[in-house]
Amino acid sequence: MDIKECSLSPVFLSLPTRLVLITCCKAFWDKIGGKTAVHAVDDGGIQLYDLPNCQYFQVAMLEGKKSFQKIVDGEASVTDENLGQLVGEALALALQSEAKSVKQGASHTDFVIILATTHYMRFFHFHISPGYLASYQSIVKGTPDAELADCLRVNSTPWLDIKEAKHRKLIATFLLALVHWANQVIQ
């Protein structure tokens, strides 16, 4: 495989995630408590492992891209296609969580995806209400006259550059906050 065809973004950007989880989590767990363990998986996604119940919960997923797909007025933008892919991933995890499958989100309504491109990261938070999910399932099943109820909400951070110290601190803070949030949700 030609190195030009291979994106190192997910591998490169999973390193700060792993570093934060490895170096900070022992003291962090000692401080907040909890009967879970933290794992960085795949391209850098984060899972909590509930020790007493032997179950994994997806805290955040990572989506890596080789380069920015759209630049508007000198600023990187997320394309409709990329956002659509992220929405699809969040909906898939929401459906798996509702079905109580092997892979579940830490929450049944809130999902985080980290979009990584070169040395930048952006955190997306998707809120998928039960009403939205039920109406989405009706549409997928082909129910006549089905309409989406409610709306799917999404918020994101700006692009965070891991080359900048203040952004590295924000990334570490976000990662630890995600782990703390997920630990509270699954308890």
Give residue-wise pLDDT tens across range 111-151: 999 998 888 999 999 999 999 999 888 887 877 787 888 88
Residue 25 pLDDT grade (very low, low, confident, very high; cuts 50, 70, 90): low
Range of the domain at 101: 13-23+38-65+85-186
pLDDT value, residue 19: 54
Is 110 a domain residue?
A: yes
Which of residues 113 and 29 earns the better pLDDT score? 113
Is 148 a domain residue?
A: yes
Is 30's pLDDT higher than 80? no
Is 8 a domain residue?
A: no
The arithmetic mean of pLDDT across residues 99-119, rounded, is 86
Residue 39 pLDDT grade (very low, low, confident, very high; cuts 50, 70, 90): very low
The CA distance from 111 to 93, in Å, is 8
pLDDT value, residue 103: 72
Is 120 a domain residue?
A: yes
Is 2 a domain residue?
A: no
Residue 163 pLDDT grade (very low, low, confident, very high; cuts 50, 70, 90): very high
pLDDT value, residue 99: 75
Is 86's pLDDT higher than 60? yes
Is 28 a domain residue?
A: no
The arithmetic mean of pLDDT across residues 43-50, rounded, is 76
The arithmetic mean of pLDDT across residues 60-75, rounded, is 84
Is 6 a domain residue?
A: no
Average pLDDT, the chain: 79
Indicate the number of domains in the chain. 1
Is 126 a domain residue?
A: yes
